[in-house]
C-alpha cells in the first residue's frame, strides 16, 4: 500500500533516536513510486547534514540508502551515461543548480558549475559527497 507523499521535512525537526525516525518513515521495502519518493525525500533532507548525525540517524540513513539502492536496481533503468552526464541528470531531476552542487560538495561556488560543464573532474571526495546526497554508491560518479 502506498503512502501519501511527504513535504516540508527539515533536518532540525527530525528525531535523533531510531524509534523516533521510524515514526516519521518506517524503514521497509520500497514497493512503488510513492514509497520511493518518500524515502528519497527523507534521505535528501538528511544527506545535507551527515556530519551532524547521531549514531541512530546514521544507521537509519544507511538503511534507507540501502532500500533505495535495492529499489533502483530492480526498477530504475538508468540511461547509459558517463559520470558527469549522470550528475547532470540527477541535478536536473532534483532541481539543483551548479551552485547547489558546490554547497553539497562543500567547495567554492564556482566548482559545481565547472564540473557540470566538464571543465573539472569529479574527485573521489566529490563522488563520496554526491553519493551520500543522492543515496547512491560513490562509484556512480567515477569513470
Tell me, yes or no, if the pTM score tops 0.75: no
Q: By the 8 A CB rule, do 109 and 99 touch?
A: yes
> What phi and psi values does residue 107 have, to the nearest 5 degrees?
-125, 180
Q: Is residue 50 part of a domain?
A: yes
Instruction: Give the separation between CA 87 and CA 76, rounded to whole angstroms.
Output: 16
Domain that holds residue 56: 11-75
Based on the domain organization, do 91 and 127 belong to the same domain?
yes
Q: In this structure, is residue 1 part of a structural domain?
A: no
139 three-class SS: helix
Both 18 and 48 in one domain: the answer is: yes
Which of 75, 93, 111 is a domain's end point?
75
Residue 120 lies in a domain: yes
pLDDT tens, residue by residue, 58-111: 999 999 999 998 998 888 776 667 889 999 999 999 999 999 999 999 999 999
pLDDT the model gives residue 60: 96
How does residue 51 score in pLDDT terms, banded at 50, 70 and 90? confident
- The cell for 134 is 543522492
Within a domain: residue 4?
A: no
In a domain, residue 111? The reply is yes
Q: Where among 35, 52, 75 does a domain terminate?
A: 75
One domain for residues 69 and 27 = yes
Angstrom CA distances, 110 to 85, 96, 106, 115, 139, stand at 18, 14, 11, 9, 23
Pairwise CA distance, residues 3 & 79, whole Å: 28
Give the number of domains in the chain: 2
On whether residue 2 sits in a domain, the answer given is no
Amino acid at each position: 500500500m502506498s503512502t501519501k507523499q511527504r513535504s516540508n521535512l527539515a533536518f532540525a525537526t527530525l528525531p535523533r533516536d531510531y524509534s523516533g525516525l521510524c515514526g516519521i518513515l518506517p524503514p521497509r521495502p520500497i514497493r512503488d513510486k510513492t514509497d520511493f519518493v518518500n524515502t528519497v525525500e527523507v534521505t535528501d533532507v538528511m544527506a545535507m547534514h551527515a556530519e551532524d548525525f547521531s549514531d541512530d540517524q546514521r544507521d537509519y540513513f544507511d538503511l534507507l540508502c540501502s532500500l533505495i539502492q535495492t529499489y533502483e536496481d530492480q526498477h530504475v533503468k538508468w540511461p547509459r551515461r558517463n559520470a558527469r552526464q549522470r550528475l547532470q541528470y540527477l541535478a536536473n531531476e532534483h532541481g539543483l543548480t551548479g551552485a547547489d552542487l558546490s554547497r553539497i560538495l562543500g567547495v567554492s561556488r564556482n566548482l559545481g558549475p565547472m564540473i557540470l560543464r566538464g571543465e573539472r573532474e569529479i574527485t573521489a571526495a566529490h563522488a563520496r559527497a554526491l553519493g551520500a546526497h543522492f543515496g547512491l554508491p560513490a562509484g556512480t560518479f567515477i569513470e
